[in-house]
Amino acid sequence: MNSRLLFLRLPRPGRPVSAAARALWAAAGAVFALLLVRPASAAEAPGWMHALVNVPLPAHDEKTDAVLLYSEENVTVRSADKIKTVVRRAYKILRPGGRSYASVRVDFDTQTHISNLHGWCIPPQGKDYEVKEKDAVEVALYAITGSDLISDVRQKFMLIPAADPGSIIGYEYEQEDRPYFLQDIWYFQSEIPVREATYSLQLPAGWEFKATWLNAPEIAPVSQPGNQWSWTIKDVKALPAEDSMPPWRGILGQMIVNVIAPPGTDGAAKLSDWNSIGNWYNGLLRGRSDPSPAIQQKVAELTASLSAPLDKMRALAAFVQRNIRYVAIELGIGGFQPHLAADVFTNRYGDCKDKVNLMRSMLGQIGVTSYLVAINTERGSVTPAMPGRMGAFDHAIVAIRLPDGLNDSSLAAVWTDPKLGRLLLFDPTDDLTPFGHLSGALQASYALLVTPGGGQLIETPQLAPSSSGIERSAHLTLNSQGTLSGQVRDVRLGDFAASQRGYFRNTEHAADRIKPIESLLSHSFSTFRINNADVVHLDAINFPVQFDYSFTADDYAKRAGNLLLVRPRVLGTKSSGLLETRDPRRQAVVFDGPERDVDTFEITLPPGYVVDDIPPAVDIDLGFASYHSKSEAKGNTLIYTRTFEIKDLFVPLSKVNELRNLYRVISSDERNDAVIRPGP
């Protein structure tokens, strides 16, 4: 599915991007710079940039790479199918890391026209530099496999020279577009401080708009003649990137503008809420899932020997998961509308919504009703406070209406609708997650359920912590020289199993299968050797991935006179340095998914030794997470057990300190030693 904006279908520079994406652009800039055969010329930067040379900078700290001095977006709605936007931006580079802001990319397609693209640099000393549109490079979508074969969607890339600390770099361009929806989003906050940002909207006579503000106080617009409106905001604080923070689109200050055309106006769809988006999407789905004779024959073949409805659904799900390759070429309306189910089946490839559409077609042949669900793979990108936004979604899954009386413990990802009944949410694109479950990224997230009656925003279910995690048990022996050896069983469930299967899919040699074990042991012992190892259920996604192995670790126990110091927590780490930073935390913490990890380690002591002292037990439950550990002696055996759970996937900023303290307690518990001594 396409995650483009609704009003101006292609993203403009200045839209929120991740730190990783910005680093990727910077790397791309170094490559594309080699393609710029025409050097930048010496030419005076425009007056609007020179007016920024001596302006005071917005508040920032010594780590800030750049500040956005000025941002301007002027949107002119000429008709329901013709929009013109003029974009201007200027940055001041403060540190070498700010050079990435000199890499300008503008996406366009067959229905989008980019013109008057210019870039300038005002260095601290010397003459200005200018880069003209003819100096820009037209390239394929960067870092997308196969994009060089796509001519419909391209990028104009421009690298502004001399973007050194102290320089002011800026650019402007015009974009004309034929929109699918009359909606736009103005992101006035950034990962760097913003001195001033302006947005203006020009509408035809008789047209209206509705503005919704998120994550910031509302600012009243200034009305101007000719049905024109403008908003200006100044000194916007930076929202720097933090590990495990909510996605940019859900937390940045933004204004969502819905343009309201007079009744009877032809052109782009008029979408005002989630229900109207669902109705619009239903129009795109109409007739797309009609089965072909080949589909009907395949369904009959896959279900011929099956009688139970659940078994039939599993068979169809497995076929779409494993036999339809994921290929995403989303051009024009293809970013929203699935291809015909018959074509996807024949070609054996499609993107997420194509796979959903084919599965819906196949389910229909066994009398099972299903619906398309649009969702974002970054939890928190969509919130209930947002007005209807089709462009907020980047993925599609299916909601399967379960027959009455069908109850099975394997069906965990179930959401109940008052009218439609029990709906099983399933991702046919994810071939590493079994039928009945959802990956952690899609749990506890807001999604758009598309039904014949329209659309509604639903919250996807969060699975129990026990659905995903690691269950590790070990039977070990310690000798009097301090060497530890024994057998370990490591069982990985849910997302942890999917992650391992994804890793093994990219390995070429059988020897690579013990790499995860080697990594685990290397973080637990200074020296070790693996005696044997085996991986079980690697290709059976309905079962956990299981590692069975034995190892020997010399000098595990440390001598202190006639005593031996032994760490009861032998393997694995649950503590984290996530929150151990110099700067105070600014954002909530978002976990990848629910998790329950259980460790049981039994260490048989050397003959003649007994336990003299054990670490204290830990018993903490914070609601969103819990940790329990205990060391005990039973005869000549030291037994350590612990359980770590993540129960809520969102930890608000007000509870971040509790999470930090929990990780510190876990870290201390993981380092504690038991003392053993020679017995009487």
DSSP letter string, 29-52: HHHHGGG--SPPEE-PPPHHHHTT
DSSP 162: -
Structure confidence at residue 137 (pLDDT): 83
Residue 46 belongs to a domain: yes
Q: Are 554 and 648 part of one and the same domain?
A: yes
- The partner residues of 560 in beta bridges, in order of sequence, read 563
Say how many C-beta atoms besides its own lie within 10 A of residue 639's C-beta: 17
Query: ∠ CA(15), CA(16), CA(18), 5° rounding?
Result: 135
Residue 429 belongs to a domain: yes
Q: Are 552 and 651 part of one and the same domain?
A: yes
CA–CA separation, 13 vs 20, rounded Å?
Answer: 16
Query: ∠ CA(60), CA(66), CA(67), 5° rounding?
Result: 60
Q: Are 528 and 666 part of one and the same domain?
A: yes
pTM for this structure?
0.89
CA–CA separation, 361 vs 366, rounded Å?
Answer: 10
Query: ∠ CA(115), CA(92), CA(142), 5° rounding?
Result: 50
Closest CA to 674 of 523, 524, 560: 560
Structure confidence at residue 336 (pLDDT): 83
Residue 268 belongs to a domain: no
Tens-digit pLDDT profile for residues 650-676 = 999 999 999 999 999 999 999 999 999
Q: Are 487 and 444 part of one and the same domain?
A: no
Q: Are 33 and 154 part of one and the same domain?
A: yes
Q: How far is CA 387 from the centre of its chain?
A: 21
pLDDT tier at 11 (50, 70, 90 boundaries)?
very low
Residue 13 belongs to a domain: no
Tens-digit pLDDT profile for residues 587-643 = 999 999 999 999 999 999 999 999 999 999 999 999 999 999 999 999 999 999 999
Residue 11 belongs to a domain: no
CATH number at residue 334: 3.10.620.30
Say how many C-beta atoms besides its own lie within 10 A of residue 538's C-beta: 16
Structure confidence at residue 5 (pLDDT): 31
pLDDT tier at 576 (50, 70, 90 boundaries)?
very high
Mean of pLDDT values over 506-531: 88
pLDDT top residue among 377 and 507: 377
Structure confidence at residue 332 (pLDDT): 64
Q: Are 46 and 118 part of one and the same domain?
A: yes
Q: What percent of the chain has pLDDT over 90?
A: 77
CA dist 230 → 51, 80, 179, 210 (Å): 20, 20, 21, 13
CA–CA separation, 402 vs 608, rounded Å?
Answer: 62
Mean of pLDDT values over 5-16: 42
User: Looking at the predicted structure, is the pLDDT value of residue 146 above 80?
Assistant: no
Q: Are 545 and 476 part of one and the same domain?
A: yes
Tens-digit pLDDT profile for residues 209-267 = 999 999 999 999 999 999 999 999 999 999 999 999 999 999 999 999 999 888 878 76
For the chain, how many structural domains are there in total?
3
Structure confidence at residue 112 (pLDDT): 80
Last residue of one domain, picked from the residues 437, 463, 489: 463
Q: Are 446 and 346 part of one and the same domain?
A: yes
Residue 443's domain comprises 274-463
CATH number at residue 590: 2.60.120.1130
Last residue of one domain, picked from the residues 214, 235, 260: 260
CA–CA separation, 30 vs 18, rounded Å?
Answer: 19
The phi and psi torsions of 660 (rounded to 5 degrees) equal -60, -45
Q: Are 487 and 450 part of one and the same domain?
A: no
Structure confidence at residue 374 (pLDDT): 95
User: Looking at the predicted structure, is the pLDDT value of residue 140 above 80?
Assistant: no
Residue 266 belongs to a domain: no
Structure confidence at residue 150 (pLDDT): 40
pLDDT tier at 177 (50, 70, 90 boundaries)?
confident
Q: Are 335 and 361 part of one and the same domain?
A: yes
CATH number at residue 120: 2.60.40.3140
Mean of pLDDT values over 323-335: 77
Residue 367 belongs to a domain: yes
Q: Are 459 and 519 part of one and the same domain?
A: no
CA–CA separation, 166 vs 92, rounded Å?
Answer: 7
* Residues sharing a CB contact under 8 Å with residue 654, sequence separation 6 or more, in sequence order: none
User: Looking at the predicted structure, is the pLDDT value of residue 322 above 60?
Assistant: yes
Q: Are 311 and 378 part of one and the same domain?
A: yes
Mean of pLDDT values over 382-405: 89
